[in-house]
Amino acid sequence: MSVNLKRALLCVIIDELCNDDIQEPTQIKRRKVWSKSWYLNRPELSHSNLLKELEISAPSDLKNFLRMDSETYNELLRKVSPFIKKQDTIMRDAISPNERLSATLRFLASGQTFEDLKFLTAISPQSLGVLIMETCSAIIKVLKPYIKLPATEDEWKAVATEFGDRWNFPNCIGALDGKHVQIKKPNCSGSYYFNYKKTFSIVLLALVSANYEFLMVEAGANGRVSDAGVFQNSKFFEKLNDGLLNIPHSQAIPEFSEVDMPFVFVGDDAFPLLRNLMKPYSRNNLSIEERVYNYRVSRARRIVENAFGIVATRFRILINRMNLNPKKASIIVLACCYLHNFLRTTNPSVYLRGSVDIEHINNGDIQLGAWRQDSQQLSELQPTASRNAASIAKETRMKYTRYFNGVGAVPWQSLFINENNN
């Protein structure tokens, strides 16, 4: 007896048993069918057949659909399959790992709702809501090694070497920034997630390397908290404040007279000035030296801006309002960040092509990355009010100011401060 015939007979038996049972109250509407008939034709109607055709006839369209080529997709599928594969039952065949992963990637890439996505996948919105969250959790699990905060002094120094080589900022160990990610107002939450942009959001905080890769990501802080509070309430700040990050001791910079040059992160006006966190000077009445310093800090910090822009352009769910609760939205956000690092590592030569800002050092112009042309962007953290930083933090900033205007000057910096008025 075929499997389909067994399933049909089982449905008849169940229906007869239900009819013999006590009659239900008239106000309760009994379900007439277990599933819409076209969902049962998923093997013929779903996007799986489309993907097969695209792989053969239009690889570039397949890449646009999945945000990765077929080879990279198959590698990711091999990683996540053991965690998302389900068993067939006598009632129906399970949704395959291939269908689960490709539907999830399309959800992340397009920002479509579950209701819209059902027409492409032939999977019910309810099932999509479950399997997409399961798949995103599996992506985070299997790609965990792709986002790793340095744990030793040597690892931090390796990050600093890249910043020195690529962005002329010695002893820099990461660019720090945060963004608001819009969500639908959670039930019974009042104004808890209501931010200064008058939308509801959670906050993504990230540290990025010189190669546009995330070193640390935290997601889920409520959008109402002050942007300075987002940082100061983060696990990252807690470790930094408690001295648990194993940041190397101060190190002299070659040819510079100062022997005590701390390793530092760079951030914008949303962050406090700390001994290990540099930010720009106030933009009022700046001296030439301060403007040079601001340019050099902004040049290094632009890396994290580009990383956020790239990940939001690749995975447009981040710039659409998510109709999910904060916990689920945080999982979606983290999955996108892990996928960004995975793709950046797997396809380093093509992933960033045309996507990042490029400086033309011969004339002081900046060619903006393609993501900046998008009308939708992640919302910035709000600049913090001016506060009195510790004297050691101010002294560290003065040291870098002297360095960037002395032996650490680059030939083109005067062009950029004149052109862009930094």
DSSP letters along 304-342, please?
HHHHHHHHHHH-GGGTSPB-S-HHHHHHHHHHHHHHHHH
User: Which range, 64-68, 88-92, 131-135, has the best average confidence (pLDDT)?
Assistant: 131-135
Is residue 129's pLDDT more than 60? yes
Stretch 377-388: mean pLDDT, rounded? 73
Angle among Cα 257, 262, 265 to the nearest 5 degrees reads 130
Residue type, 131: L
Strands 365-367 and 358-360: antiparallel
Rounded CA gap, 85 and 102, in Å? 13
368 confidence band (pLDDT: 50, 70, 90): confident
Looking at residue 254, what is its pLDDT?
87
Looking at residue 293, what is its pLDDT?
97
Looking at residue 24, what is its pLDDT?
46
Report whether 409 contacts 348 (CB < 8 A). no
Report whether 209 contacts 174 (CB < 8 A). yes
Any idea which of 25-29, 200-204, 308-312 has the lowest mean pLDDT? 25-29
Rounded CA gap, 202 and 225, in Å? 10
Angle among Cα 266, 370, 219 to the nearest 5 degrees reads 45
3-class DSSP assignment, residue 206: strand
23, 71, 214, 329 from 223: Cα distances, Å: 50, 38, 21, 13
73 confidence band (pLDDT: 50, 70, 90): very high
Looking at residue 23, what is its pLDDT?
43
Tokens matching residue 210:
């010189």
What is the share, in percent, of the chain residues with pLDDT greater than 90?
A: 61
Report whether 340 contacts 314 (CB < 8 A). yes
Any idea which of 216-225, 282-291, 339-348, 364-373 has the lowest mean pLDDT? 364-373
Looking at residue 11, what is its pLDDT?
57
Is 260 or 317 the better-scoring residue by pLDDT? 317
Is residue 85's pLDDT more than 60? yes
pLDDT, tens digit, for every residue of 190-216? 999 999 889 999 999 999 999 999 999
